[in-house]
Amino acid sequence: MKSGKNKASSTVGTSKRLIFNTIIVLFPFLLLFLVEILLRTFSYGDNLSLFVNHPEKEFSEYRIVNPIVGKKYFQRFEYTEPPKDAFLKEKPDSCFRIFVMGSSTVVGFPYDNNIMFSRILHEWLRETYPGKKIEVVNTAITAINSFTLLDYMPQILRQKPDAILFYAGHNEFYGAFGSGSSEASVQNPAFIRLHLKLLNFRVYQLTRNIISSVAESVSKTKTAAAKRGTLMSRMAKDADITFGSKKYNEGIENYRKNLDMMLAMAKAKNVPVFMSDLVSNIRDLKPFSSQPTSSLKPADFYFDLARQQEAAGDFNAAKENYTKARDYDCVRFRASSDINSCIVELSKKYNNIRFVPTLSLFEANSPNRLVGNNLVTEHVHPNIEGYFLMAGSFYSAIIQSGLLGNDRNIYAPQAAYDFMKNYGFTELDYLVGQHRIKNLSYHWPFTDESAGFVDYRKIYKPISFVDSLAFAVMVDNELTLSDAHLEMAEKYEAENDFVRAFGEYNALTKLHPFWPSYFRKAADCLLIMRDLPGAIRFFERSLEFGDDSFYAHFRLGELAMIKNDIALAIVHFEKALTLANTEKINVLSKLYVAYTYLQDKENVARIATEINKMKQGFLPQVPNRDYTFLDYIPVQVEDYIIRATEMLKEMKVDEAEAVLKESIALHDNHIAHRRLGEIYLKKRDFSRSVYELEMVYNDFNSDPRFLNTLALVYLAMNDKNKASKCIDRIEAVERAYPGLEKLRSFVN
């Protein structure tokens, strides 16, 4: 009996000890949890998540890349904010969502967000797939490398991407946490990855901040020279990293491992990744540091040899040695061939990876296939033409993948240089980029600052108003490129130069594709320029992120009336009426005319009653219904169109055709395409005729004369189905059209 009691007592004692020991073990974690809650309650530390809710009320349905996410990766140096690309919190089923990963090249340096390849690509895809909702979200910030991108990946995958675009590798040594970086407090890759995960907790942020403060107070080594310079020069701690050295191999292996882990995550979620190889300036940039090793000659040797071979016309050998000079350069701001080898190797390892051969495209567009200053501004960042090529490289890969389907606009530009013609950038963008690169070139590693520092910002004298504005954007952090574009636009408007004013507003729409006001201002310029199709496109874009602009709806209603699309005009005027204040009488007058054209007696009476309440005894005049859209000739091509019209009257068809093509090369316009379609019909060149006419169908789909011509082309091609649809459309817009029955007889 006593033995049983002892046994029971022993069991109870063991249980108590187990509970006590468990409490002792868990107490520190419980304490940390409570401290974490307290720190969050009192708003200590930062939310360092990659994505946050959009801070502006009108975009409450959207998320953006966290503006302060750079704090997580940069403790010693400043960080750049990521682009403010918005995407819906709740992803619609019809949406195709793309995330873009990378660093300064992906941000678009030395230009601004309108020249990012991702934004160019987004606009290009929109034009190619006009019926599809496409989101492109750029997550890049300057001077990050694969450790940061690996930290990004799980957060990106949680946002349900349909594709991820990847262009990164130049920063593996000097980017944050790189093996030669001043931001790297530890070199062990596992510790770096753990450190980044722990930084999501406020307790860990507090610990880091305390340690950092103590270290700064103890350290007295900071000098003015250390603080001066570009982020590029200050990030490099161990400048010289020789090819094949331990530090070099560590950097390559870190990149390979991090990238492999990222791609495995994407594979597990079955998310396609478009991964590009990297481009750098090999022809026109000498090695930054040339040091021989026991097995290699100095990098300068290979560069000089390549120069001689190029001069002798041996371009293949020159390319090989320019590449070696780049690879053996001991200052590693340009990714070596080993980085591109990792990209190619890993793209073959996973079946969800699509390799994007951007380097080959740059080589194909460079003299003798030697990439240099023709497409790269300094060492790795493309110029404007280069960024369009980069966008084109990803564009082609996405199109070929078939992920977006086959229902696309076949008239969208397929070549980068064609898409570049009407995209939003101006001389101001070129000059800002030139000044940023010039300023960069006055710092290490482009210049040996030990011989004496010259500040480009203090010696340069602007040569024009636009140049002075571009220079001010580079020098003054308070003056943004958006401010400068707006100032130029207002200057051109005051001078009645609406073509150039439109160019500046168009650039602003690419800088801020979520701000409706710039689209409306651009559309107003196009109206004055008599480019009605362009004005319609920009007014429609202004409504994409909010359907509450009276002005846009009213203008779109007027433009639909000019097009003879009365039903669409009514939709916009009715919406404008709900938003109108003092303008109600004008909107009601427009509705009265529109309903009269449709012979809608019930609505005519309703509108007349509303007008009478506001202005007794007044009824608007109803002008004769006409088709005047063709009468609005864009100012840039007015002389060409008038000249071609006169030639057609004189039966000089071939001369008119040539002039119309010239007008399109100068400024793509709806009138020239229609006239060319009519010319080719007369020449019985039906395939070219239908190509030109279908290109402007949306512009003239309420003009019975145009529809009549297109129906005749379809009949000539024996496509009775499309001809019938044209005839049905004629009946919808004008039942009494005189040629209607004759056309139907042709079909039957």
CATH of residue 548's domain is 1.25.40.10
| Ordered alpha helix ranges (H), 370-497 | 384-401, 416-420, 427-441, 456-459, 465-475, 481-494
Question: Does a structural domain hold residue 69?
Answer: no
Helices of type H across 129-159: 146-157
What SS3 string covers 286-322? CCCCCCCCCCCCCHHHHHHHHHHHHHCCCHHHHHHHH
Q: Are 393 and 276 in contact (CB under 8 A)?
A: yes
Residue 86 gets the label, from left (phi > 0), alpha (psi -120 to 50) or beta, of: beta
Give the residue among 425, 418, 524 at the shortest CA–CA distance from 119.
425
In angstroms, rounded to a whole number, what is the distance separating the alpha carbons of residues 234 and 551? Answer: 50
Quickly count helices (H) and strands (E) in the chain: 34, 8
Residue 602 domain flag: no
Tokens of 725: 């649809």
pLDDT in tens, 452-470: 789 999 999 999 999 999 9
d(CA 407, CA 125): 12
Q: How far apart are CA 524 and CA 322, in angstroms?
A: 51
- Are 555 and 656 found together in one domain? no
381 plus 514 within the same structural domain: no
Tell me the per-residue pLDDT of 30-80, one tens digit each, with 9 for 90 and over: 666 675 577 677 767 788 999 999 999 889 999 999 999 999 998 877 888
pLDDT of 221 reads: 46
Q: Cβ atoms within 10 A of the Cβ of 545, count?
A: 16
- 717: exposed, middle or buried (Cβ count in 10 Å: 0-12, 13-18, 19+): middle
Q: Can you tell me the distance from the alpha carbon of 534 to that of 523, in angstroms, rounded to the nearest whole number?
A: 7
> In this structure, which amino acid lies at residue 259?
L
319 and 375, same domain (yes or no) = no
Nearest in space to 570 (alpha carbons), one of 544, 536, 597: 597
The Cα–Cα gap between 660 and 643 comes to 9
One domain, residues 237 and 182: yes
| Domain-embedded: residue 359 | yes
Contact between 64 and 54 (Cβ < 8 Å): yes
Domain endpoint, select from 544, 572, 600 = 572
Angstrom distance (rounded) from CA 636 to CA 641: 10
For 686, the token pair is 């039906």
Q: What is the DSSP string of 704-731?
A: HHHHHHHHHHHHHTT-HHHHHHHHHHHH
The answer on 672 and 546 residing in a single domain is no
| Same domain for 456 and 343 | no
Q: Which two tokens stand for residue 29?
A: 């974690």
Q: Is 48 a domain residue? A: no
* 3-class state of residue 356 by DSSP: strand
d(CA 381, CA 357): 17
We report the CATH number of the domain holding residue 391 as: 3.40.50.1110
134 sits in which H/E element: strand 133-138
Measured distance CA(567)–CA(737) in Å, rounded: 18
Place of tokens 């916009």: 572
Let me know: does 51 contact 66? Beta carbons within 8 Å. yes
**Domain boundary, last residue among 328, 354, 388:** 328
Say yes or no: 245 and 277 in one domain: yes
Q: How many CA atoms lie within 13 A of 533 on its CB side?
A: 18
pLDDT < 70 positions in the chain = 1-13, 15-16, 18-23, 25-33, 35-36, 39, 43, 182-186, 212, 215-238
Residue 114 and residue 249 in one domain: yes
364 and 404: one domain? yes
**For residue 359, what are its two tokens?**
């380097």
239 contacts 180 by C-beta, under 8 angstroms: yes
* Longest CA pairwise span in the chain (Å): 128
Q: Are strands 163-167 and 95-102 parallel, antiparallel or unpaired?
A: parallel
- Same domain? 166 vs 296: no
Task: Say what the pLDDT of residue 546 is.
Answer: 79
Pairing of strands 62-65, 86-88: antiparallel
Residue 729 included in any domain: yes
Please give the C-alpha separations between residue 484 and each of 14, 429, 466, 474, in angstroms, as whole numbers.
76, 10, 9, 11
Are residues 365 and 307 located together in one domain of the fold?
A: no
CB atoms under 10 Å from CB of 661, counted, come to 14
Give residue 227's pLDDT: 46
Burial annotation 79-105 (CB, 10 A radius, 16+ → b, else e):
bbebbbbbbeeebeeeebbbbbbbbbb
Say which residues have a Cβ less than 8 Å from residue 512's Cβ, sequence separation at least 6.
Answer: 482, 518
Tokens, residue 69? 């996410």
- Specify the pLDDT at position 212: 67
Domain limit, last residue, from 328, 352, 378: 328
The two beta strands, 163-167 and 353-356, are: unpaired
Cβ atoms 170, 334 nearer than 8 A:
yes
Q: What are phi and psi of 51, to 5 degrees?
A: -120, 140
User: How many C-beta atoms surround the C-beta of residue 249 within 10 A?
Assistant: 14
> Distance between CA atoms of 38 and 32, rounded to whole angstroms?
10
Number of domains in the chain: 4
Q: Would you say residue 269 lies in a domain?
A: yes
Q: Is residue 590 part of a domain?
A: no
- Show the tokens assigned to 310: 């190029």
CA atoms within 13 A on the CB side of 369: 14
In this prediction, residue 124 carries a pLDDT of 98
Residue 19 lies in a domain: no
Strand pairing report for 133-138 and 163-167: unpaired
Q: Tally the C-alpha atoms within 13 A of residue 168's C-alpha that lie toward its C-beta.
A: 32
Dist. CA 712–CA 465, nearest whole Å: 54
Expressed as residue numbers, the domain containing 699 is 637-747
Nearest to 354 by CA among 416, 262, 276: 276
Identify which of 84, 68, 2, 22 has the alpha carbon closest to the alpha carbon of residue 545: 84
Both 349 and 474 in one domain: the answer is no
The pLDDT of residue 186? 65
